[in-house]
Structure 1
Amino acid sequence: MFNIHTHIILTSIKIDLPSNEDIRNSFIKRGFQSVGTCATKTPINSKGDCHVYSLPYLFDDLLFLSNCFQGGQFNKVRMLMMLDRYSFEEKLFKIISEDFPFLQK
């Protein structure tokens, strides 16, 4: 059971961040059956974020949710913190209202 969020500030050295699929596959190859991923890169200021979590998600809070969230069942989550460099769209709020039935904060 895990929930990992990393924030990367890229330097002058070129680093290619892996895709969501690459990250998911690396966990699956290590024996984790069901993994959610959300990796984003901001080309303007050379920053990146990666969020990887085990499914089913068994924590009470979910921090730093971003626009790349694809949905899932998060029945235990009571507190959600969203953070992204891009504005949130209505579609994301619809997914959240359906996938977080017990959200309080």
Structure 2
Amino acid sequence: MPGNIGLPEIAVVLIIALLVFGPKRLPELGRSLGRGIREFKGSIGGDHDDDDKTALEAPEPRSAPEPSSVPESESAKVHGDPADAEIVRNKPS
């Protein structure tokens, strides 16, 4: 059956891994794989304390951005009805 993995299939995979990676790198590969699985399970289970602390803290209020300082001589002025507005710029003296 294609969905069942038994002892013979695991043995074949281990033999192929031994041939591909060699006897020196295989323990290192197993350790890193185990470390990765442990970190993954820890992140799923919520073992980290930093997640709980950030959830309890209130978000900091955002301040409004500072308006850009444009010299008065370069600012635009609108006269009359906004739909028919004409932009008049003050020329520097």
The TM-score range, normalised by the shorter chain, is under 0.3
TM-score between both structures, scaled by the size of structure 1: 0.23
Greater share of residues in strand = 1
Higher relative contact order (CA 8 A, sep 6+): 1
TM-score between both structures, scaled by the size of structure 2: 0.25
